């Protein structure tokens, strides 16, 4: 048997250049291995130790470059069942060590081939520990990576707009409505960047009609749903006033449940405001306290913005992040509506918070 081919030795040298001029060296892979190739976006780090495919196919990462803190990525390959959307939404990825070959009975292929086929690439061999420490101190920032010269990459990094005041929802929402699920309740789900695992968690409770993000509230109510779900999604909620207005028209008319961006839009519709976090919450190990019981949930998170702490008219805070005190959940006191900032569907991540889907079902049943 011939020895395994070391594809890393054949990869071209590449650079990761941050907008502040910090440079990291490595090797290009995937769609970035061509001469003078460049990818750019807002650079964030994610702390999951597994579930890289779910992260890369989460539409909430549109416009971003993801750096994994876990050193070995790609070791169990990819499987079609693990994708959270039809294609990766990330601009590129940054890793310490990209596995040469997958080792899993579930694997349909290897990560590099999966990304290359979809026009996505990245850089390996990066000191991701040093990179993460830098981002924690300096905050998330734009970057460029590839095989182009350093000066060209710096120009690309500084020209990148990032996610602030960017409507990225329009780039990932479904173009047409579709149905899924087989439960007895009826739910209309706004697709701001929907993850498939969320739909699988709602499916036992409801028949779900997923609609485009821009669907007017009047058309949603014409469908006579038992409840409306507000999904996760990318970008800055402050740029989505047109969506906030439609959520406001649903308040009090039908039970609402929001996750991630849906949580932020619900909070804004109630009169709250949002702000950009220094480096965001991205990972599968964030502790959140459920204030009603004192229980601590370990949660999966992916967001760069949060609701401002303070009075939100007609709502109370239900959950808080124990790392930094960020508001992680709210519930309305006068109308049937609640939301959480984190991801109870846990794709990937722990399942501590999946009770929230049953809570939504009970809320709908109580208001039928």
Set out the domains of the chain in order of their start, with CATH numbers.
Answer: 7-159 (3.50.30.20), 169-366 (3.40.50.880)
* Residue 260 is among the residues annotated as catalytic for this protein: yes
Would you call 121 helix, strand, or coil by DSSP? strand
Type and span of the H or E element at 241 = helix 241-250
Give the confidence band of 7 by pLDDT, cuts at 50, 70, 90: very low
Q: Is 345 a catalytic residue?
A: yes
Q: CA angle 280-285-289, nearest 5°?
A: 85
| Burial 315-331, CB ≥16 within 10 A → b, else e | bebbbbbeeeebbbbbb
Q: Is 13 helix (H, G, I), strand (E, B) or coil?
A: strand
- pLDDT of 6 reads 46
- What distances in angstroms separate CA 161 from CA 91, 105, 230, 248, 347, one per listed residue? 13, 41, 26, 29, 28
pLDDT band at 10 (very low <50, low <70, confident <90, very high): confident
Between vectors from CA 86 to CA 233 and to CA 80, what angle results, nearest 5°? 120
Residue 113 neighbours by CB under 8 Å, 6+ apart: none
**Would you state the pLDDT for residue 3?**
39
% helix, strand, coil for the chain, step of 5: 25, 30, 45
Report the pLDDT averaged over residues 19-39: 92
Confidence bin at 9 (pLDDT 50/70/90):
low
Q: How many other CB atoms sit within 10 Å of the CB of residue 152?
A: 15
d(CA 46, CA 68): 5
Q: Which long-range contacts (CB under 8 A, 24 or more apart) does 309-314 make?
A: 310/272, 312/267, 312/270, 312/271, 312/272, 313/270, 313/271, 313/272, 314/270, 314/271
Considering only CA atoms, which of 100, 94, 8, 103 is closest in space to residue 52? 94
Q: Measure the N-to-C terminal CA separation of the chain; round to a whole number of Å.
A: 66
72 catalytic? Reply is no
Q: Is the pLDDT of residue 178 over 80?
A: yes
Per-residue pLDDT averaged across 256-266, rounded? 98
Query: Of 142, 143, 260, 332, which one is the catalytic site residue?
Result: 260
pLDDT reading at 80 higher than 80 = yes
pLDDT score of 4 more than 50: no
- Model confidence band, residue 100 (pLDDT cutoffs 50, 70, 90): confident
Q: Which of 55, 37, 62, 46 is nearest to 96 (CA)?
A: 46
Run of H or E residues at 269: helix 261-269
Q: Which of 27, 42, 297, 345 is catalytic?
A: 345
Active-site annotation holder among 134, 263, 282, 343: 343
| Arithmetic mean of pLDDT, 105-133 | 95
d(CA 172, CA 182): 25
């Amino acid at each position: 048997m011939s020895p395994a081919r070391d594809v890393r030795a054949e990869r071209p040298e590449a650079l990761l250049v941050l907008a502040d001029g910090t440079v990291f060296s490595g090797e290009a892979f995937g769609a970035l291995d061509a001469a003078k190739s460049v990818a750019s976006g807002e650079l964030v780090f994610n702390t999951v130790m597994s579930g890289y495919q779910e992260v890369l196919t989460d539409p909430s990462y549109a416009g971003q470059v993801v750096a994994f803190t876990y050193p070995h990525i790609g070791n169990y390959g990819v499987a079609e069942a693990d994708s959270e959307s039809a294609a990766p939404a990330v601009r590129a990825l940054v890793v310490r060590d990209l596995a040469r070959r997958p080792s899993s009975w579930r694997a349909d292929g290897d990560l590099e081939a999966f990304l290359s086929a979809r026009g996505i690439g990245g850089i390996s061999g990066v000191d991701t520990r040093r990179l993460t420490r830098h981002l924690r101190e300096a905050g998330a920032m734009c970057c460029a990576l590839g095989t182009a010269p350093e000066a060209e990459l710096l120009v690309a990094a500084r020209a990148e707009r990032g996610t602030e005041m960017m409507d990225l929802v329009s780039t990932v929402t479904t173009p047409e409505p579709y149905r899924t699920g087989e439960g007895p309740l009826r739910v209309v789900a706004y697709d701001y960047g929907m993850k498939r695992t969320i739909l699988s968690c709602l499916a036992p409770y409801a028949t779900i009609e997923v609609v485009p993000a821009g669907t007017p509230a009047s058309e949603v109510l014409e469908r006579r749903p038992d409840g409306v779900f507000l999904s996760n999604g990318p970008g800055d909620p402050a740029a989505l006033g047109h969506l906030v207005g439609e959520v406001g028209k649903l308040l009090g008319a039908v039970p609402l449940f929001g996750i991630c961006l849906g949580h932020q839009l619900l909070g804004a519709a109630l009169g709250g405001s949002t702000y950009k976090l220094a480096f965001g919450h991205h990972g599968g190990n964030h502790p959140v306290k459920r204030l009603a019981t004192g229980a601590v949930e370990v949660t999966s998170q992916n967001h760069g913005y949060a609701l401002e702490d303070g009075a939100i008219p007609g709502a109370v805070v239900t959950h808080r992040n124990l790392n930094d005190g960020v508001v992680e959940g709210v519930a309305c006191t006068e109308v049937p509506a609640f939301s959480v900032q984190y991801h109870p569907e846990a794709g990937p991540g722990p399942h501590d918070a999946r009770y929230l889907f049953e809570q939504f079902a009970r809320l709908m049943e109580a208001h039928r």
